[in-house]
Chains A and B, each alone.
Chain A
Amino acid sequence: MNKKVIMTVAAMAIGVSAIAGSIASAGPAEDISAFQTYFKKRFADTEFSDFKNGVYSIHKPSREQWESIEDFPPYELAIDNGSEMWEEAFANGKTYADCLGKDVSAIRARYPHYDVEKDTVATLEDDINKCRVANGEKKLGWKKGAIADLSAYIASEGRDKPVAVKLPENEKALAWYEKGKNFFYAKRGQLNLACSDCHVNYSGRMVRADTLGPALGHTTHFPVYRSKWTSMGTLHRRYAGCNTNVRAKPFKAQSDEYKALEYFQTLMSNGLVFNGPGARK
């Protein structure tokens, strides 16, 4: 009882430090529960499963525009390109299926995950490029273009699979989790904002003409076709953009920081389903 009350009050009035304080002593499972309960309460009219649609689950006017776009979303072009990439063999005759598995529909839901052997967080894009390098091909750019197309195809095949990231099972995995969690709650940039400031405390409120989307469901719909980019982009492309927006120096795509953040954020969305690729403004 006490934890939930503290969460709500702190989030509404006191600020970041209080939340971080109350969570610091809890484990990932409790964090997820507190996190999701907060949003369920804050947006009581939203169906839990709808949080995967981000701001569109809490703001009707933008939802209507999104639904118009979804009538024939531009990311379908990326899916087409991605499926061609999937079918094409590397110079050495091997294919992506040889690395990632033949069942394309099972791939998306495996990421991100903690890799025990390498003590790192494995992401879809990272494994795509690892596959290429292992088969004598050049790496693809991390943020857009071909990698986003292939990721879009894989995401579309894996749509509606549950988000069920394994909870950290040992110290090292927990360290990655904490790294991501701290990143999420830490202030940064000239504007001195934490991810949580906009996407937890002020989610649903406006910043100039934009309504802030809730962090719950943040990573489920990637890669994404953003109207702003008029192109596809990966999650780490968005992370970099968002950090730049608060006038913080962005980290590199697939850096430890962003991998940890992806790990933390996806864990927080356990219970939702993957619904990529997405269309956003």
Chain B
Amino acid sequence: MKRRTFLKNTLAVTATGTAVGTGLISGNALASEEKANPFKATSLEDALKAAGITEHEASDKITVKAPDLAENAAVVPVEVSSTLEGASEVRIFIAENPTPHAANFMLGEGSEALVKCRFKMGKSSDVIGVFKVGDKYFSAKKAVKVTKGGCGG
């Protein structure tokens, strides 16, 4: 037990040391390149940031249709739609996925602000639809539960 504690402390010290020493501070350029592609972002905040979405307003004029309890996490049917005027681009995020930014759709002139797609979900999560209207963002979300099936998976 003494040994484990010793190692744990050593590691903790080393980690901090490394961070300050070589680090993330000077490695900014690389870090930001990774962050720039929203598909690579590993957290919802980073994904939103990378997508240029600094803030988004919850709107009841957006609907995210998805099941309460997904039958199978590999194929979850999702429909996002909006009645907002000028809604032209929508991004779909699955908050708890390893890379939350799942897809984005740019709807051409004359296209309805409604799109259906099917996604894989790693675990129970909010499915968030963010519509771009002009230079503002509006969103809605739906909580989708994912569980292990009963028949052994």
The reply to whether B151 and A242 form a contact with Cβ atoms under 8 Å apart is yes
The contact size tier of chain B is: 20 to 34
| Interface of chain B: mostly helix, strand, loop or mixed | loop
Q: Is B69 an interface residue (CB 8 A)?
A: yes
A206 close to B150 (CB less than 8 A): yes
* CB-nearest residue of chain A to B78: A68
CA distance A61 to B70 in the complex (A): 9
Quick check: B69 and A245 within 8 Å, CB to CB?
no
Residue of A nearest to B79 (CB): A68
- Contact of A209 with B75 in the complex, beta carbons under 8 Å: no
Q: In whole angstroms, how far apart are the Cα atoms of A68 and B118 in the complex?
A: 9
* A210 contact set on B, CB distance < 8 A: 149-151
Q: Is the interface of A mostly helix, strand, loop or mixed?
A: mixed
Inter-chain pairs besides A227-B71, A245-B153, 13 sampled, C-beta below 8 Å:
A61-B67, A61-B69, A62-B71, A64-B67, A65-B71, A65-B77, A68-B116, A69-B118, A208-B149, A227-B75, A228-B74, A228-B153, A281-B149
Bound complex: CA A244 to CA B76 (Å): 25
A281 to B59, CA, bound (A): 32
In the complex, A230 has a CB within 8 A of chain B: yes
Q: Which residues on the A side are within 8 Å of B79 (C-beta)?
A: 68
CB distance from A192 to the nearest CB of B (A): 14
A207: Cβ under 8 A from any B Cβ: yes
With A61-B68, A61-B69, A210-B149 in contact, is A227–B116 under 8 Å at CB?
Answer: no
Residue of A at shortest CB range from B68?
A61
Which A positions have Cβ atoms within 8 angstroms of B?
Answer: 61-62, 64-66, 68-69, 71, 206-210, 212, 227-228, 230, 242, 244-246, 281
* CB-based contact B152/A245 at 8 Å: yes
In the complex, chain B residues 50-69 whose Cβ is within 8 Å of any chain A Cβ: 67-69
Task: Using A227-B74, A228-B72 as known contacts, say yes or no to A209 and B152 having CB atoms under 8 A apart.
Answer: no
Contact check, A207 vs B150: say whether CB atoms are below 8 A apart: yes
Chain A residues, Cβ within 8 Å of B71 = 62, 65-66, 227, 281
How many angstroms between the C-alpha atoms of A26 and B29 in the bound complex? 79
